[in-house]
Structure 1
Amino acid sequence: MLKRRPTALLLRSPENQVHLEDMKRYYPKVDWIDAPMPPLPGHGEKKDERDQLLVSLATAKNQYPITDFVIYSRAYGAFSEEGRAAIESIFSVPVITAPGAVLEQLHTLGASKLYVITPYGQAHHDHELRWLYEQGFEVIASSCLGHDTGGEIQNLLAADIVAALRPTFSLKSGLDAVYIACTVVRTPAMAEDLQDAATVPIVSATQAMLWKLEKLVG
C-alpha cells in the first residue's frame, strides 16, 4: 500500500470524452492523469496494428513518466493474453487493461454462464461474443444496443441498460453474471440502479478496472 497519494495514468479512447470526469468522481483515491490515445486501425491484434499501438504507448510513457498505475481503458490490442503482455511490457508499473480486469473479476466470481450487453452495432457485438467464447465462457443470451459512435454510447442512460437486462428475469439456465462491455458506457454512474434491477452480479468494463485498482491501491 502506498503511503502517499498515488497517481493513475488513464489511457482512453478519444471518443470516451467524459471518462476522466467519471473516474475522478467514482474513484477519488488517486490523482488521475488523462491521456487520450490516437485512433488506430483494426482490433490491435495483427502485428502491424500492435506495433503501432506499442509506439503510441511508448510515447505516452515518455510524456507522463511518473505514475504509479496505468489504466488502459480500452480493448484495442488487449483481447489476447499476448496483447496484454505486450502492453504491460512498455511500462514499469502495474497496468490494468479493461479486458484483463473483466476476465479476472468474472473468474473471481466463478462465473461461466453469462448474459452479455454491448452498446455496439452487430459486427462489433459479434466480435465481443467470439472473444468471450474463446475465453471459455458460455453466453446464454445477449443484447446488442446498436450504437457505433462514442457520443451515442456515452449518452446511454441507466434505463437503457435496465431495459436490456429484462430478458435475464426469465432465464432459467443457471446464469452466473451479466457482463456489460465498453468503457464508454457510464456504468459507474448507473451501478446502483443496474444491480438493483439484476438477479445476478454485474461486471462492466469500467467497474472491473476500478475493482482491480482498488485491490492494488488498498
Structure 2
Amino acid sequence: MGDIIQQGTYRKITVTVPDAPTEEPMPASMNFYVDSRFTTAQVTRLREMIAGVLAFWREHQEQINNGEISRYASCVNKYARFNLAPVWFSDRLANGRAAADVQMAGFTTQIQANGFNRAARAYIKYQEPTGQNFTIRGLNASNLETNSLSVTVNPKALSNSTASTLMLTGSLFHAWLHRGGYRHPAGRYTSYFAGEASMCIMRGNLNKAPGVPASTYTKWLD
C-alpha cells in the first residue's frame, strides 16, 4: 500500500489511489505524515481507513460513470436535509443526491491537491484525550486546493477492538468533510449532511436499520 519514510517525529506514508474514471488525471498515491508514536498496528489501521475512504470514492465515480445513481448518493439522499453545501459553494443544492455529487467531486480535488503536492502536507497527529473523549478531529477548513487533509487521532480508538474499521473509516471521512468545508451544529449529526454522509459510510451505504439508535454511529463522530 506504499512506503514509510522516517522524517523527524513523523513518518511519511503513501497510500495508493485506486483507478477511477475521472475527467482529470489523478495521482498514483496520496502522502501522509504520521506521528511516530503510533504503533505499527495503528499505522496499518490508519492505512486501511484511508484506503477505505478511497474505495468508497472509486465506487461512486464508477457508478456515476456508468450512468447510475451511486449507492453513496442514494443513501445520502434518503437522510441528509440540512447544510447540504460546503461553505465555498454558492448555489443552492436541491437534495442529498446533488450534495453527494458535489462532495465527491470536491474530494477528487482534495486527492489531486494532496497527491500532486499542491496542498499543504497532511499530518496525522497523535493525541490521547485529556478531557472529553474523541475519535478523529479535523479542524474546519474550506480551500480544497491548498488546505491539507490533516487530522488529529485518538490512538486508543485505533486499538479499540470493538470499533470496526468501517466505523473508523466513517469517522475519518467525517473529519475530512470538515476539512472540505462542511459544517454542522456542535453535537448534532442527524439530518445534517456531514453527519448523515459519514453514517452512510459507516453502514456501507445501507439503509438505517429499525431499532438501531443514531448514537451507535455518532459516538465515533467529532
TM-score normalised over the length of structure 1 = 0.28
Relative to its length, the structure with more strand (as a share) is 1
Relative to its length, the structure with more helix (as a share) is 1
TM-score normalised over the length of structure 2 = 0.28
